[in-house]
Structure 1
Amino acid sequence: MTTLSHSPRRGLTWAVLRLHRVPLWVWAVMVIAGAGGLIWLYELGQEAAPYSRACDGTGMLQCATEMRYGISELRSAQLLAWLSCGIAACAGAALIGRELEHDTVTLAWAQSVSPVRWLAAKLAVPAVALLGGTAVLTLMFRWVWVSGPDGGANRWNSEYFHAAGSVGPAYVLLGLALGALAALLTRRTLPAMGLAVVGIGLAYHLGDRVRSSLWPASEVRGPWDSTLNHVDQLELGVITKSGEHVSGVDCSDQAVPGDLSTCLSDHGAVDFYAEIHPTSHYWPIQLVETGIVLALAAAAVAAAFSVLRRRLP
């Protein structure tokens, strides 16, 4: 009697790969297409770089290439930030919900595959594929963004923050976990996809709302200038003679230094202030939010296994 050359765990992994080879190939094609688009964007950025400082001049034709680059860069950031999370949420719901809906999962469980191992394989295979593809596109987008002209885009904008850092892949894993949990709760594919998309959308929105509070902000004083366009602005205002901070005072239309002094005196203030997150806070906040999102993904996976155990016959 000969022994099997493949372990049951490896056989289950290959079975999942074979069963879902079509969506995996579709995802691979999407990643390759995205990488090709980012290479094109890099070339466009190099073409636009010589004109990046000429757009304040007279001819708008010189700025056409840079404007096209800026729009394409923003669209790329939006696609990478939003589409990858939506795909992950739908994938987690569809890959598991379809088998539960059609009851084909009982066949796998009858072939010496435990429900826990089945769910682990169903999550691990798409997680590796989604995480690998998203990580590649994230690194490429950051390479393109750093190498291209500065079109005035703030690195703290939500789409850029997701597309150019570790937060994006973390949200992809959270979307996959939420999709799996929704599928186990509803045992239906379409409702699970809807719930998962809503869930990852809420998580995305909450992340944007609480991001500025994940790290202590810094205060800078003095007249506001263009350097504040590249930081995360939390609060702008003036400081009164008593030391009170009054936010919301707008002196932006008074650019001449004398006019700024007039603006201060009109409000009984002695200086300007701004609560900001400078560039040095970018990666600490990225890592803190990444850790929180990964913890939420782990909690969703744990909840999915708990639901699976409770629904076993």
Structure 2
Amino acid sequence: MTTLSHSPRHGPTRAVLRLHRVPLWVWTVLVIAGAGGLTWLYALGQEAASYGACGGTGMPECATEMRYWGSEHQSAKLLAWLPCGIAACAGAVLTGRELEHGTATLAWTQSVSPARWLAAKLAVPVVALLGGTTALTLMFRWVWGAGPDGGVNRWNSEYFHAAGSVGPAYVLLGLALGAPAALLTRRTLPAMGLALAGIGLAYHLGDRFRSSLWPASEVRGPWDSALNHVDQLEFGMIMESGERVSGLDCSDQAAPGDLGTCLSDHGAVDFYARIHPTSHYWPIQLVETGIALALAAAAVAAAFWVLRRRLP
């Protein structure tokens, strides 16, 4: 007679799924609710687009369009921030709670090595969080592309995170930061604080240095509406000597006939602007995604290093 048994290879994964099934169900519900909300937003955008351009304040079509823009912006902010915060907390809680209560040491004595224990703690939320965030990101792009153009610049920080590969990458970074924070503090709440501070700092630095991730282009001539959807880095005038002086404009002399006079008054020959055009959008997305993933890998490596150093 032979005895059937579960493979010990999957034991830690099953344990994580069983122990943390409630947070996983909550995340599933949040993803489903987000997908439902974005589907509703798509329908609202289609309704607003069917009216055509908003013709005046107070008209029904204007109310629909304004409601769509406001809901779209709120969706972008939620998708940009909420999964990152959840990931940072998950990375800290999944690891920190067992260290705080001593159950991790018990697991290590039950034929589960510390490395396998930590790998299972990270692998399960990676699948759940990455899958859910990627699905919502794709849906947001679907909604944004189908609705009326509200004049929102695609380089807006929340939209940049919500509509591209950067968003899921920051989710992985938040999760990865939670693990070393928990292993260093061995307490859940301090680890959550450190992980949230870390992902917040990464988010801020990404916004600050994003424009430096790809060489900018220069365009000349007066600013026009065709440039409203670019990432403007610098605007000014080109002097007769060829020197570029930023910040000079002719906003009080907007009539075309006055621009030449304005240039002459400043001793300039033309306007210039340093920008990231639409063609730079995905290269910058991919570069920042690569940086976030590299930082996440470094955080995971740091977690395993700290685990080895702190083994009882």
TM-score normalised according to structure 2 size? 0.97
1:21 counterpart letter in structure 2: R
Per-residue Cα deviation, 1:5-29 (whole angstroms, up to 9, x for no partner): 5321212211111111000000000
Cα RMSD (Å): 1.3
State how 1:62-81 maps to structure 2 within 5 Å: 62-81=61-80
Q: Which moved more, 1:87-96 or 1:257-266?
A: 257-266
Give the AA of the match of 2:123. Answer: A
Task: Please name the residue that 1:33 is paired with.
Answer: 33
CA contact (8 A) 1:52 1:66 kept: no
Q: How far is the alpha carbon of 1:38 from its aligned partner?
A: 0.3
CA deviation string 1:11-52 (max 9, x = no partner): 221111111100000000000000000001101101111345
The 1:58/1:178 distance shift into structure 2, 3 A limit, reads closer
- Letter paired with 2:54: A
Asked whether the equivalents of residues 167 and 290 of structure 1 are also in contact (C-alpha less than 8 Å), the reply is yes
Q: Deviations over 1:174-217 (max 9, x none)?
A: 00011111111100000110111011000000000110000000
* Larger mean Cα displacement after TM superposition, 259-268 or 189-198: 259-268
Structure 2 equivalent of residue 14 of structure 1:
14
Aligned residues: 312
SS of residue paired to 1:230: coil
Instruction: Please give the alpha-carbon distance, in whole angstroms, between the structure 1 residues aligned to 2:227 and 2:253.
Output: 16
Q: Report the equivalent of 2:307.
A: 308
What is the CA–CA distance in structure 1 between the aligned matches of 2:103 and 2:65, rounded to whole Å?
Answer: 53
SS of the residue corresponding to residue 272 of structure 2 reads strand
Residue 54 (str. 1) matches residue 34 (str. 2): no
Q: Is the 8 A contact 1:93 1:183 kept in 2?
A: yes
Question: Offset of 1:253 from its aligned partner?
Answer: 3.7
Indicate whether 1:236 and 2:254 are aligned.
no
Q: Which runs of 5+ in 1 are unaligned?
A: none
Alignment of 1:93 with 2:80, yes or no, is no
Q: Could you tell me which amino acid in structure 1 is paired with residue 18 of structure 2?
A: R
Deviation at 1:171, TM superposition (A): 0.2
Amino acid at match of 2:253: Q
What are the Cα deviations for residues 115-149 of structure 1, in whole angstroms up to 9, with x where unaligned? 00000000000011000000000000000001111
- Counterparts of 2:11 and 2:182, CA distance in 1: 24
Distance 2:243 2:173 in 1: 42
Equivalent position of 2:254 in the other structure: 255
Q: Match for residue 174 of structure 1?
A: 173
Shift of 1:255: 2.5
Alignment-mate amino acid for residue 50 of structure 1? S
Contact 2:165 2:285 in 1 (8 A): yes
Checking the alignment, whether the CA contact within 8 Å between 2:45 and 2:65 is kept in structure 1 is: yes
- Preserved CA contact (<8 Å) 2:181 2:195: yes
Match of 1:128 in 2: 127
TM-score (norm 1): 0.97
